[in-house]
Amino acid sequence: MSNNCGREKEKLIMYQAFDKMQRHFPMSAGDGAYSYSRNSQLQREVLDGAKEMVRDAIIEKLDIKSLLSASINTFRIIDLGCSIGPNTFSAMQHIIEAVKDKCHYQFSADSSNIIPEFQVFFNDHVNNDFNTLFRSLPVDRSYFAVGVPGSFHGRLFPSGSIHFAHSSCAIHWLSKLPEMLLDEKSPAWNKGLIHYVDAANTAVVNAYVAQFDKDMEIFLSARAEEIVPGGMMVLVSPFSGYRYLKFFGSSLMDLVNEFLLELGRTFFGDLSTMSDLYLFS
């Protein structure tokens, strides 16, 4: 009886943790040794690798003349899933410089008079560390900065108000965990894993794909309403990196097992096996 109660408590803790993940999962706050701002080199490399492609797209396809007029001289940019910097600042400055260059290409030599003002909206979940983000704003920035808390899986702006939408290393995050993965009786019960990569069970893959399809439909529909006609959206996403996920998953399970073993020793005395403890299995 006590073992069953213990299992139910651990299951409840697990489900509560997943429920919190469904609502928000911000990056590590602050600027300490373990913060996102000091541990986002991989994301920076993804951004750097896409810079020239983003610039080429702006130069070749963005029609500044059709977007701006004598009465509208503010170019509005949104970074969706900005986190806390510094990568978002680099990405926004690169976009602004490319737009300025396009102005020089499209207008006369005296284009300095028609360079627009820039307004940059930094978006992430409500629990994102916006304090660190705004404390880190470049002092020499050439734009007006605004914070926009909220999920990008939904509307964030009025219709036709954004000229350029950008997101890097963010759209692969799901709005919530597929519910089928939490049901032991479901064919998509993902025992012992924290991801779907290389999963032998196709039901697991299909559950993630179905959730991603729903999320992207909502995401794209919202952006279609918010971006002005002739505007542009750039989405940069990293490779799957399944080896890293498998390594991270196995490391996490080792930590979980070690934690449960210590928990079991605390509450039940010395345990020779993990067969009486329950989590993700």
Least confident piece of the model among 1-15, 49-63, 208-222: 1-15
| Tokens 């299909």 found at | 206
Domains held by the chain: number: 1
- 234 has a pLDDT exceeding 80: yes
* 92 domain residue, yes or no: yes
Q: What is the mean pLDDT of residues 127-152?
A: 93
- 263 has a pLDDT exceeding 70: no
3-class DSSP state for residue 166? Answer: strand
Question: Distances from the Cα of 42 to the Cαs of 30, 147, 160, 168, in angstroms?
Answer: 19, 24, 33, 11
The C-alpha atoms of residue 146 and residue 157 are separated, in whole angstroms, by 12
At 271 the pLDDT is 38
At 38 the pLDDT is 53
* 263 domain residue, yes or no: no
Highest mean pLDDT among 74-78, 183-187, 207-211, 239-243: 74-78
Least confident piece of the model among 19-33, 139-153, 217-231: 19-33
CATH number of 173's domain = 3.40.50.150
- Return the percentage of the chain with pLDDT > 70, whole number: 62
The C-alpha atoms of residue 221 and residue 236 are separated, in whole angstroms, by 18
DSSP label of 150:
S
In this prediction the pTM is: 0.72
Q: What is the DSSP string of 60-128?
A: HH--HHHH--SS--EEEEEEET-TTSSHHHHHHHHHHHHHHHHHHHHS-TTGGGTPPEEEEEEEE-TTS
* 274 domain residue, yes or no: no
Instruction: Give the pLDDT band (50/70/90) at residue 237.
Output: confident
pLDDT digits (tens, 9 = 90+) for 141-155: 999 999 999 999 999
At 267 the pLDDT is 42
Instruction: Give the pLDDT band (50/70/90) at residue 269.
Output: very low
Q: Average per-residue pLDDT in the chain? A: 75
| Tokens 């939904």 found at | 154
**Helix-helix angle 242-268:2-23, to 10 degrees:** 140
- 139 has a pLDDT exceeding 80: yes
Buried b (16+ CB within 10 A) or exposed e, 8-36: eebeeeeeeeeeeeeeeeebbbebeeebb
* 147 domain residue, yes or no: yes
At 31 the pLDDT is 57
Domain that holds residue 235: 2-240
3-class DSSP state for residue 244? Answer: helix
Residue type for position 154: G
- 253 has a pLDDT exceeding 80: no
* 254 domain residue, yes or no: no
Q: What is the mean pLDDT of residues 1-12?
A: 54
Residue among 73, 112, 92 at smallest CA distance from 166: 92
* 35 domain residue, yes or no: yes
**For residues 13, 14, 15 and 16, what is the CA-based torsion angle, rounded to 10 degrees?**
50
